[in-house]
Amino acid sequence: MLNKGQIINAKITSIVNYGVFSEVHSEDGELIAKGLIHISELSDFFVRDINSFFAIGDVIEVQVLEYDAAKKQVKLSYKALHPELLKSSENKIQETGNGFSKLEDSIDDSMNND
């Protein structure tokens, strides 16, 4: 049984342009689930070539996003365990707190000068 948020090892079985397919095995080697790490779960930054991250046969540490026991399928995240692949809040547009007030002041000043 896999749980959301659980950290597990997955073996890369296939690399495609939209992500990475993998298998999750129990300690005794039994197949628990087949998984997908979608390209959006590799990095917040542009991924030019997935092959620069992994090779077929690699065993990597990932986090479980969703698990469907009936289908034996799991959605996984690589970036969740690698903070360097996440965009920080510093990269986002910062609010100045001024909003349109400076524009309003400029308009008022130009109208008063006419």
**Domains in the chain, number:** 1
Residue 111 lies in a domain: no
CATH number at residue 15: 2.40.50.140
Tell me the C-alpha distance between 40 and 95, whole Å: 27
Domain that holds residue 11: 7-88
Note the pLDDT of residue 86.
83
- 43/55 Cα distance (integer angstroms): 16
Per-residue pLDDT of the chain (114 residues; tens, 9 = 90+): 899 999 999 999 999 999 999 999 999 999 999 999 999 999 989 989 999 999 999 999 999 999 999 999 999 999 999 888 888 765 555 555 555 566 566 666 666 665
Q: Cα separation of 62 and 28, whole Å? A: 19
Name the pTM for this structure.
Answer: 0.73
Residue 61 belongs to a domain: yes
Q: How far apart are CA 31 and CA 51, in angstroms?
A: 24
The confidence score (pLDDT) of residue 1 equals 83
